[in-house]
Amino acid sequence: MPVSFSKNTEEIEESLGYVFKDKRLLLESITHRSYHHENPDESLNYNEKLEFLGDAVLGLAVSHILFLDDTHLTEASMSKMKSYLVNESVLFEMASKLSLGKYLRLGKGEELTGGRSKKSVLSDAMEALFGAVFLDSDYVTVREIILKLYSQKLPDVISKKEGYDFKSELQEKIQGIYGCLPEYRIVKQEGEEHRKIFTVEVYINTILYGTAKGKSKKEAQMLAAQEALEKL
């Protein structure tokens, strides 16, 4: 069960490093539609409008942070990195680290169906929280909060291109140059059933361009695509 709202405000604010002037905005950001529908007199608003605003604020802040990076990223690279950084999975990971689920105000039905751990519910609440901070303060403040929350994720994304979709980039490039698709071949599987290592080769017009190992087929294919792109 969720803790009391007064404790919610203190703990969320401590995690964010930001104290709300208008606590109603914080309350609205953690209020799900299901709670509002079941408690219309107690809850006048729910977090979907804040989510809409927060999505735009997050997109701008991440774009700005990538733009200011001194590694001379291309527009295409920034676009793909931004898409990864603002996607549902990354927002869910961020919300989980903040333990945001235990603070949500949910209706009984949503509660019973595991709403506190649903990826969609938590990622939406995370965006709503960004929207609430923006309305309560300003763009610079919310950007600093986003930068802090992404501080561990950003270096890997920029330097190692973690989350970068090398397969899609390789496919686009090969279709444009050769008018064909890359071919991925799983050439080896080793290890125990629950700890397999896959070796994948990627071919372009029957020529081997990349070989890589990974803990999943997808990871191995992505790494093989990265090697092929480097060779191209």
Task: Encode pLDDT of 75-125 as tens digits.
Answer: 888 888 888 899 888 899 999 999 999 999 999 989 999 989 998 899 999
Largest CA distance in the chain: 67
Encoded tokens for 217: 């087929």
Residues contacting 75, CB < 8 A, separation 6+: none
Give the mean pLDDT of 167-174.
Answer: 89
- Domain boundaries of the chain, sorted by first residue: 5-160, 166-231
Per-residue pLDDT reduced to its tens digit, 133-166? 999 999 999 999 999 999 988 888 887 776 778 8
Q: List the CATH code of the domain at 5-160.
A: 1.10.1520.10
Q: Say which of 28, 55, 169, 201 is annotated catalytic.
A: 55
127 catalytic, yes or no? yes
Our answer to whether residue 55 is catalytic in this structure is yes
Enclosing H/E stretch for 187: strand 183-190
Do 23 and 125 meet the contact criterion of CB atoms below 8 Å apart?
no
Query: Looking at residue 78, what is its pLDDT?
Result: 87
Q: What is the pLDDT of residues 16-63, one digit of tens each?
A: 999 999 999 999 999 999 999 888 877 778 999 999 999 999 999 999
Higher per-residue confidence, 193 vs 19: 19
Identity of residue 9? T
* Among 51, 110, 124, 127, the one annotated catalytic: 127
Question: Does pLDDT of 68 surpass 60?
Answer: yes
- The more confident residue out of 217 and 80 is 217
For the full predicted model, state whether its pTM sits above 0.75: no
Q: Do domains 5-160 and 166-231 have the same CATH topology?
A: no
Domain 166-231 has CATH 3.40.50.2300: no
- Give the pLDDT of residue 1: 38
